[in-house]
A and B are shown apart, each in its own frame.
Chain A
Amino acid sequence: MEATGLSKRFTHKGRTEPVLNDVSFQVGQNEIISILGKSGCGKSTLLHLLGGFERPDEGTVRINGQPVTGPSRNCIMLFQHYGLLPWRTVLGNVELGLENERLPASERKERAMRYLRKVGLEDKAGAFPRQLSGGMQQRVALARALAVQPKLLLMDEPFAAVDTFTRYQLQDELLRIQREERTTIILVTHDIDEAVYLSDRVLLMGANPGTIRTELAVPAAKPRDRGHEDFLHVRRTVLERFELTRAAPAPEFSI
């Protein structure tokens, strides 16, 4: 995946405001990249551009050399509120992406079940999304995305709505599944620990307009230990960098 010179402006009440300015970066196969930034820095917009849900005013996004012109099955987005269809069962939701493919019903079901098993929810196949907890719904959305075997997975603050314990568990699960499926993942988050724990590289974003200020490689080997020295070191670096990326405070004047 390669993004070059992405810019996006929104026009609101006759005023044009730049949201993203000249964002470029590359993501290699099997990498996990986090885009870390404060609310409103344009990271969600960036993810929508990568997924083809919105068109950039300038710049291009390419996946395997092919320019992205719209949403596609190559690149599945996991939305903040999961986007599960409430009138379909868990299994029905996972099958949604497979209905396009010319698969016999039994094979489709089998493949959906395989991915449900991967996220540990095969016993919930007949349940409706409303009957599941937030963490389980997130896992269903993950199974639905993986079932179409995308090249790239985009995650918009994937674990923001679940409690800490569930979040840790889901993060570990995501790492395990990513190893098995060899999927490339780009995730957007405002949680520093999450970014450092999950990614190979962290892109720090600044706001007004959104740009990538710094790129940080996370050298620590996976699986990582949340309490380990290396982890804490990288975390500290991120915190320091964020101080730097913040706009300089207005100088105080005294008369």
Chain B
Amino acid sequence: MRPLSKTAATAFALLLLVAAWQAVVQIGHYDRSLLPSPLHVAQGIVELARSGVLFEDLQVSLLRFAAGYFSASVCAILLGLTLGRIRPLWTLVDPIVQVLRPVSPIAWSPFIVLWFGIGNAPAIVIIFLAAFFPVLLSTVKAVRSVDATYLKVAQNFELPPLRLLTRIVFPSAFPQIAHGLHLAIGTSWIFLVSGEMVGSQSGLGFLIVDSRNVLRLDLVMAGIVLIGVFGLLLDRTVGLLERWVGRQWGMEK
């Protein structure tokens, strides 16, 4: 048998999942309000799309996600480059990071609401926290494992410190940093929903909370499906980007 192409495999796997879901609904004769069937959820999505709520929430969520994720990435990469280059500083900062990192961003939510109010800010801050640590740690690790020969070559050609960072350290560390960025996409997307359950009045997370409050379980499931599908799309997009950058960097043949 010819191996399936990646796209075909993805479509097939998703179809399988929907089929299993439908089977559970049919076999168990579950009530619509207990476990909505794929068809009901699809109708729910159409309903959301017709009323315009879907695109509004999606847009709001994606914008918040982008704001949190990109600001976290930029901060974490800049900080990681600095910390990775200055060994004694990292020895000092490492324990602090290890104490803060295991704390779920949600645990901070009471403070986040107190400090940042309601609206877009709390969701963005929570996404920021979720993305920040994986990117920071992978950047520091990448910077510290830069091949010593590259550093010697740079010294030999008398590259000034800033240029050493931008021309040697960053590009050399980039593949590993990109891996961290890829990981962070997943983690921070997970926290999008939780973020939007805290003090927001819009977005996919709010859609779920709101639908639960009016007992529209089909719409709750619709929200879950949308989050899942967009999570997959984001992951694939970043994967493509990672491969493209790898080619530009000459890391692949």
Interface residues of A (CB under 8 A from B): 51, 53, 70-73, 75-77, 79, 81, 83, 85-89, 96-97, 99-100, 128-131, 148
Interface pick from B73-81, B90-98, B166-174, B184-192:
B166-174
Chain A residues, CB < 8 A from B156:
51, 71-73, 75-77
Task: Judge if B157 is at the interface, Cβ distance under 8 Å.
Answer: yes
* 18 CB < 8 A contacts A-B: A51-B156, A53-B155, A71-B152, A71-B156, A72-B156, A73-B156, A77-B152, A77-B156, A79-B152, A85-B153, A85-B172, A87-B174, A87-B248, A97-B157, A99-B159, A99-B163, A128-B250, A129-B250
Given contacts A75-B156, A83-B153, A87-B250, 19 further A-B contacts (CB under 8 A): A53-B155, A70-B155, A72-B158, A73-B157, A73-B158, A76-B156, A76-B157, A79-B153, A83-B152, A86-B249, A87-B171, A88-B171, A88-B250, A97-B157, A99-B159, A100-B159, A128-B250, A129-B250, A131-B253
Contacts of A96 in B (CB 8 A): 153, 157, 167
Docked Cα-Cα span, A82 to B248, in Å, equals 21
Of B158, B248, B250, most buried by chain A (CB within 10 Å of CB) is: B250
B123 to chain A, nearest CB (A): 36
Q: Is B149 an interface residue (CB 8 A)?
A: yes
With an 8 A cutoff between CB atoms, is B251 at the interface? Answer: yes
Q: Which residues of B contact A81 (CB under 8 A)?
A: 149
Contact between chains at B172 and A53 (CB < 8 Å) = no
Which A residues lie within 8 Å of B152 (CB)?
A: 53, 71, 77, 79, 83
Q: Are B155 and A86 in contact (CB-based, < 8 A)? A: no
- B158 / chain A contacts, CB cutoff of 8 Å: 71-73, 100
Tell me the complex Cα distance, A99–B164, Å.
12
- Using Cβ atoms and an 8 Å threshold, which residues of chain A touch B147? 83
Counting chain B residues whose Cβ lies within 8 A of the other chain, the interface size class is 20 to 34
Binary A-proximity of B137-155 (CB < 8 A = 1, otherwise 0): 0000000000101101101
Complex Cα–Cα for A85 and B174 (A) = 13
A157 CB → nearest B CB, Å: 14
Task: For A51, list chain B residues within 8 Å (CB).
Answer: 156
Cα-based distance from A111 to B12 in the complex (angstroms): 56
Return the chain A residue nearest B246 by Cβ.
Answer: A87
- Nearest first, the 7 closest Cβ-Cβ pairs linking A and B are A128-B250, A87-B249, A97-B157, A83-B149, A71-B155, A83-B153, A71-B156
